[in-house]
Structure 1
């Protein structure tokens, strides 16, 4: 059935306001847009956690400045469970500020605005085929299950960026080992991390005085297994849980959050399969032919670019079995903090396993 406005002879009968009435009629016919928001208070919660980390880093930098004869210490990593979302927010703020100062663009808008549903479907079709293949391979995995009293072990080669000086300085490649505790309920010790020969505890997230519960920032195997396996429902759920920022496209934040989940966890096969199909539904996700991880391993790439912050994040998969190899994030334009192509971070996963004791390497 076709909806029409105006008189029978096709002319507009709205005294020259046909454009406005046409838009109103289209708005009436189209279904309302679906949106997701964080629960009340969560914006302030994440902002406060970020400010605490900035204060901590500033104090540490001042202490180093007061002792010039001392060799600079290796920069500490953020708590791994907190690293992905906070890094995204902090980086987006720094990049947008620099990019805007150079006249490079305005505040980022939602990635799904400005395109029709049919256009988005057409753009997503090629990458959806690739992600469906990756999903099918993940569904055949024999990973897990993981008991509540065990630890997920991940060994990687990583590179990280430092913005302390106001410029992006990428550190050298280093080995990192992480043991994630799977115990349910609020925990004050989330596991252990070993880098540079030193093993340190991973403490609860900033602000979690009673301990951090399992969830989007502490994804235990049990929590992951309880996620929806329908791709659309899963994407909606993760979108609602992922913090928003005015300086980063929310779709980019969700893409990076999924990247964190596939990078440093042991995923139930059904959840892994659903995550890849959910990623195919994110506007702006594309295939990245011949992507490269932190070790220079080439593979099938899945990427998304955040034009507001001039960054591009890529996932890399083995071209044969489509297993996840690693990821990287880099600048896509010259900005105040670095030149186009500068590497912000990169990872190459070498081993995943499940162990009974934190800080102890797997036997095999």
Structure 2
């Protein structure tokens, strides 16, 4: 994928400023169960990368996604139940469900039917709006579903291909000025684009590379 962020950095005098990263490459590998993985991100890790190994099952791993229902209503009910079980009481229920769907979309490889169902399920969450033309980090146009998080003062857009509903990327924009925050309204806090997804035989192997 290609990603870029703008975030708040605090110096030694406790002064905060907005810092932006340039659009850069990010490569992630995940095993089918999500317990083994690897990350290589330009400017964030070494050229060799770091391990993402975990003893905790990953809900966005392929095996877990393949078991999800493809009916949007049934899928949304399951997501609400799962997010309710771990949700911070301070986080609104609908916002928690929206974030949970995003966690399943980004850096995952769901079956096509599941990916489309996640889009349709998210569109049913109260407060979610449709965006007829949205642009990902590499300039590709698609449709998006978006929701504003008033607590964070941000609006998150998940962008999909108009025909296939394949997930293209994410965009987070500041829509409300927060006290003492250097991030101005209109600042793109995060932008990303999934440029390629594939199944490979081993961690750190890239598509087309011999095993």
Q: TM-score, normalised by structure 1?
A: 0.50
Shift of 1:317: 2.4
Q: Aligned partners of 1:343, 1:248: CA distance in 2, in Å?
A: 23
Shift of 1:301: 2.0
Q: 1:212 aligns with which of 35, 50, 56?
A: 56
Asked whether the equivalents of residues 122 and 145 of structure 2 are also in contact (C-alpha less than 8 Å), the reply is: no
Q: 2:88 aligns with which of 245, 259, 262?
A: 245
Structure with higher strand content: 2
Correspondence 1:354 to 2:199: yes
Structure with higher helix content: 1
- 1:246-275, Cα deviation, whole Å (9 max, x unpaired): 554332232122123223211123322322
Asked whether the equivalents of residues 115 and 167 of structure 2 are also in contact (C-alpha less than 8 Å), the reply is: no
- 1:272-328, Cα deviation, whole Å (9 max, x unpaired): 232222112200111123212112333222111112321100012234554322111
Correspondence 1:172 to 2:22: yes
Q: Residue 197 of structure 2: SS of its match in structure 1? A: strand
Shift of 1:167: 4.4
Q: 1:311 to 1:254 in 2, by over 3 A?
A: same
**Number of residue pairs matched by the alignment:** 196
Aligned to 1:21: none
- Deviating beyond 6 angstroms after TM superposition, the runs of 4 or more aligned structure 1 residues are none
Q: 1:203 aligns with which of 18, 40, 53?
A: 53
- 1:201-234, Cα deviation, whole Å (9 max, x unpaired): 1132xxxxxx1124x3xx2222112223332222
5+ residue gaps, structure 1, are 1-155, 205-210
Q: Aligned partners of 2:111, 2:167: CA distance in 1, in Å?
A: 14
Q: Residue 363 of structure 1: SS of its match in structure 2? A: coil
Correspondence 1:277 to 2:90: no
- 1:104-149, Cα deviation, whole Å (9 max, x unpaired): xxxxxxxxxxxxxxxxxxxxxxxxxxxxxxxxxxxxxxxxxxxxxx
Asked whether the equivalents of residues 247 and 308 of structure 1 are also in contact (C-alpha less than 8 Å), the reply is: no
- 1:320-361, Cα deviation, whole Å (9 max, x unpaired): 554322111111012232110122211111000000100111
Correspondence 1:261 to 2:84: no
Shift of 1:236: 1.9
Asked whether the equivalents of residues 199 and 359 of structure 1 are also in contact (C-alpha less than 8 Å), the reply is: no
Q: Residue 350 of structure 1: SS of its match in structure 2? A: coil
* Higher gyration radius (CA): 1
Q: 1:269 to 1:297 in 2, by over 3 A?
A: closer
Shift of 1:235: 1.2
